[in-house]
Structure 1
Amino acid sequence: MRRRTALALPPAALLASCSDRGADASDASGSTSRPSSSDGGSEASGKKTTPSPSPTPDAAEQRAADLSDEEAAAQLVLVGIPAGTTPASSLISDLRVGGFFLLGIWDSADTVRALVEDIGDRVGDGDVSPLLSVDQEGGQVRMLRGSAARRTPSAATLGEQGTDAVTDAYTSIGEDLAGLGLHAALAPVADAVDPELGSANAPVGKVDRGFGTDPAHVADCVVAATKALDGQQVASALKHFPGLGRVRGNTDFSAEDITDEKTDADSSYLDPFRAGIDAGADMVMLSSALYPRLDEDTPAMFSRPIVTELLRGSMGFDGLVVSDDVGSAAAVQDVPVAERATRLLEAGGDVVLTADPDLAEQLVEAIADWASQSKATARRVRESAARMLRVKQARSVPGA
């Protein structure tokens, strides 16, 4: 399924457009050019003018409308599960968070299957089950090892071997995840590494997470990975928009050297993301680095010019937009916890991802409080919840 729309404004951009001009939807669509009843337009044409019908809500929008305000807010939080642990019952049966992702090394298929079964058993009747995901890129970034998943090469190795190798590896990844009952891979990395940095690029190049330095080749590999995962009914996440291949520092561990001075809206380094969107990627993960040519001083995940204007507007992505880690990452530690959620939503994003389970309740409460501020913020939360539910429905998550 394609996630790119070339002509229509995404819902968040449309809301902003309407509120900025103080116009209603019909004004925004250009109704002023049509003759009104007072100038005889409808009589001259011999036809009665009738208003256009409102779009019919899809299944995800209908399901989102059935949720309480708190349930809709909870859909927008993805929580880490440290290796060998199980999430607190309160996260599943009380808070009902939107999803979980596996942290650390899980080397037993039986352990992962038991976790998946345990989570499913604790979901209440009629509740939406959580989206279950994992960072499984290959190479060093494989949370599933041992009997839990086959060894797959790093993206750097796959990039050298070509797109057929990418397809084979990501087919294996998809098969392994689906066999364990997981719904999504937080992959592939769509960051092309600046050849001037190479291994000095800490988040990608240093640990062989990128498919290469040529954006066109990286784009081909991203398409192959995205399609291979989809072929196994596993959701994909392009990361880390708008790219971490041109910074030195790793946003997980440092707030220094995380500025990309080169990437602008016309940069070829965005092409792998464009290609992945066209290939049907379910999600795009935002980085917390800085991109002054796109937004002078705001991290990408909190930037409306980057998320709403570039990703959703110019690039036409209408799928699920998730943050990089907002729980433990050094790059966001100076931002109050509640604002890590609300600023993402204000920028046009959907889901906050936290590696720290202890922050989950605070993030859900912040989103629910933000939604209660106005009809516009309430609509935004429902829109984002519908995007999460759309991914869940596409991947057969129970209750969605």
Structure 2
Amino acid sequence: MRTTTSFAFPSKSVTAVSKTVMALGLTAVLATGCSNSGAPGSATPTAPHSSPAPPSASSPPAATQSPGTASASPDAGPNLSAAPPTSAAPADTASQQLSRLSLDQRVGQLFMVAAKATGADPGTMTALTTYHTGNVYLSGRSKAGSEATAKVVASLTGTVSPGTTGNLPLFVGTDQEGGNVQVLSGPGFTTIPAATAQAGLGGTRLRSEAAVWGKELRSAGVNVNLAPVLDTVASPEFAPSNGPIGRFQRQYGYSPGTVSELGNAFALGMADAGVAPVVKHFPGLGRVVPNTDVSKDVRDKETTRTDPALAPFRAAIKNGTRWVMLSNAYYDKIDPATIAPFSPVITSMLREDLAFDGIIVSDDLCSAAQLEPWGSADRALNFFGAGGTMMVCADPSRIPAMHQAVVDKAQSDPAFMRKIDDAVLTILRVKAASAL
């Protein structure tokens, strides 16, 4: 959804090409559902959790009760946890759930696979049933409305069983930012304006409107919104050249303060409705030119580990958000040799610098052009090895190879197994605190 088109040439032919490239970029965004959304933790910054002994990949699972849930209160105040429980769950609930999952099921919890919003294809259903995938997101576009979307969601959540996910419910996400990035429309769904227009509402009204949009998602069975964008675009003049964000009016402003106020108002509104917001794309895509969905070697040459542009993410975490999505770019002043989802340095920025203990979710790692140098197995191993929690995959056909690679590595490497268990525990804890 980002492009590298130059805006210095006034000729009609170049303008036509620019429009074509822009359309292709937006198509890629909606297909992947990530960099446009993208697009969900591992261990907390304290000592790693002591994991149960690794189970056999083929060990039969025991039936597991779904986590206890509670409805979100619209008056919950500045907390981004989509649905805080009314009473504290036992501290060992997630650990007990983990112990009842086979290794195959544990690894399945680490993935969020794409499902066409108009109806899942066989590849998605195979990922959910055969490879125990524990999370799904609606991608593409659907104009069918809320009732039809609810039926699609029901076909996905209907795969939950003792044998697939150990009876653990699915996180069901989509990309409902507004403007060019709105997967679901039709009866029952508001046509949401782009972030640049949302900004004109002001924080209080935007939170209220976002709660309405969130309730629409919730009524269709969606419990995670891969939004809002908290990237700070450098300036209005740079915005048209900023392929992933500014070109599509996805930014809430041009200063960290403005983005923090308005982007987090959107996030709070979603949480008020019982939909978990996913803030993105850490540590920021507001300074890049090409789009990682359609271009390779995309680099941010300015952002630092203590950059002011991190402020919106810091505020979201302080508010209680449980999901942060990484970008797919390189960051020359942070970890120049490693793209963000494979960088332990960037993971440590969240875990240590910002004290985030929720779900670190990738942008799409299955279809984005930025990932072309790596095979399916390495993409998964690098992401989870760096401390990622949940991997978004726009191409269900890659799930089998990725799942098997993680299972094999976990069986042979105790340190990697501990990372997997820590990631699964984070996901289970967030699920337990959400009304799924």
Structure-2-length-normalised TM-score:
0.76
Partner of 1:111: 148
Q: Which stretches in structure 1 are left out of the alignment for 5+ residues?
A: 1-8, 17-55
- Find the partner of 1:92 among 128, 134, 142: 128
Partner of 2:278: 237
Q: Partners of 1:374 and 1:209 in 2: how far apart? A: 41
- Find the partner of 1:146 among 182, 186, 189: 186
Matches within 5 A, 1:177-326: 177-195=217-235, 197-256=238-297, 258-307=298-347, 309-326=348-365
Q: Partners of 2:109 and 2:187 in 1: how far apart? A: 31
Q: After superposing the two structures, state which structure 1 stretch, 323-332 or 258-267, moved more.
A: 258-267
The total of aligned residue pairs comes to 348
CA 82–66 in structure 1, closer or farther in 2 if over 3 Å, else same: same
Partner of 1:359: 398
- Find the partner of 1:370 among 392, 409, 421: 409
Residues 65 and 382 in structure 1, CA contact (< 8 A), matched pair in contact too: no
Measure how far apart 1:371 and its partner are.
1.4
- List per-residue Cα deviations over 1:13-33 (Å, max 9, x = no partner): 7459xxxxxxxxxxxxxxxxx
Q: Partners of 2:157 and 2:201 in 1: how far apart? A: 39
Measure how far apart 1:87 and its partner are.
4.4
Measure how far apart 1:381 and its partner are.
0.6
SS at match of 2:306: coil
SS at match of 2:158: helix
Residues 214 and 275 in structure 2, CA contact (< 8 A), matched pair in contact too: yes
Residues 112 and 148 in structure 1, CA contact (< 8 A), matched pair in contact too: no
Superposition misfits of 4+ residues, deviation over 6 angstroms: none
SS at match of 1:147: coil
2:98 is aligned with 1:64: yes
SS at match of 1:71: helix
Q: After superposing the two structures, state which structure 1 stretch, 162-171 or 178-187, moved more.
A: 162-171
CA 130–87 in structure 1, closer or farther in 2 if over 3 Å, else same: farther
CA 12–380 in structure 1, closer or farther in 2 if over 3 Å, else same: farther
Measure how far apart 1:123 and its partner are.
2.0
CA 334–287 in structure 1, closer or farther in 2 if over 3 Å, else same: same
- Find the partner of 1:348 among 364, 373, 387: 387
Matches within 5 A, 1:116-127: 116-125=153-162, 126-127=166-167
- List per-residue Cα deviations over 1:109-160 (Å, max 9, x = no partner): 2221111222233322452232110011011110011125111111111123
Residues 295 and 303 in structure 1, CA contact (< 8 A), matched pair in contact too: yes
Q: Partners of 2:44 and 2:263 in 1: how far apart? A: 26
Q: Partners of 1:318 and 1:11 in 2: how far apart? A: 5
Q: Which stretches in structure 2 are left out of the alignment for 5+ residues?
A: 1-41, 50-89
SS at match of 1:209: coil
State the AA in 1 paired with 2:329. Answer: A
**Which of the two has higher C-alpha Rg?**
1
CA 166–58 in structure 1, closer or farther in 2 if over 3 Å, else same: farther
- List per-residue Cα deviations over 1:182-229 (Å, max 9, x = no partner): 110001101010115211101000001110111111011122122111
State the AA in 2 paired with 1:382. Answer: D
Residues 160 and 211 in structure 1, CA contact (< 8 A), matched pair in contact too: no
State the AA in 2 paired with 1:301. Answer: P
State the AA in 1 paired with 2:434. Answer: R
Q: Partners of 1:191 and 1:184 in 2: how far apart? A: 19
Q: Partners of 1:188 and 1:59 in 2: how far apart? A: 30
State the AA in 1 paired with 2:100. Answer: D
Measure how far apart 1:391 and its partner are.
2.2
State the AA in 2 paired with 1:63. Answer: Q
Partner of 1:25: none
Q: Partners of 1:356 and 1:286 in 2: how far apart? A: 18
Q: Partners of 1:220 and 1:349 in 2: how far apart? A: 27
- List per-residue Cα deviations over 1:282-306 (Å, max 9, x = no partner): 2111111011111022111110111
SS at match of 1:360: helix
CA 62–374 in structure 1, closer or farther in 2 if over 3 Å, else same: same
- List per-residue Cα deviations over 1:262-285 (Å, max 9, x = no partner): 110111100011011111112111
Residues 219 and 275 in structure 1, CA contact (< 8 A), matched pair in contact too: yes
Q: Partners of 1:148 and 1:98 in 2: how far apart? A: 27
Matches within 5 A, 1:3-152: 10-11=43-44, 14-15=47-48, 57-88=91-122, 89-108=125-144, 109-125=146-162, 126-152=166-192
Q: Partners of 2:374 and 2:183 in 1: how far apart? A: 28
Structure-1-length-normalised TM-score:
0.83
Partner of 1:385: 424
Q: Partners of 2:206 and 2:425 in 1: how far apart? A: 31
- List per-residue Cα deviations over 1:46-72 (Å, max 9, x = no partner): xxxxxxxxxx95322321222111100
- List per-residue Cα deviations over 1:202-259 (Å, max 9, x = no partner): 1000001110111111011122122111111111111111000000011111115x21
SS at match of 2:295: coil
Higher relative contact order (CA 8 A, sep 6+): 2
Q: Partners of 1:154 and 1:350 in 2: how far apart? A: 29
- List per-residue Cα deviations over 1:374-395 (Å, max 9, x = no partner): 2221111111111112222222
Residues 43 and 426 in structure 2, CA contact (< 8 A), matched pair in contact too: no
More helix by share: 1
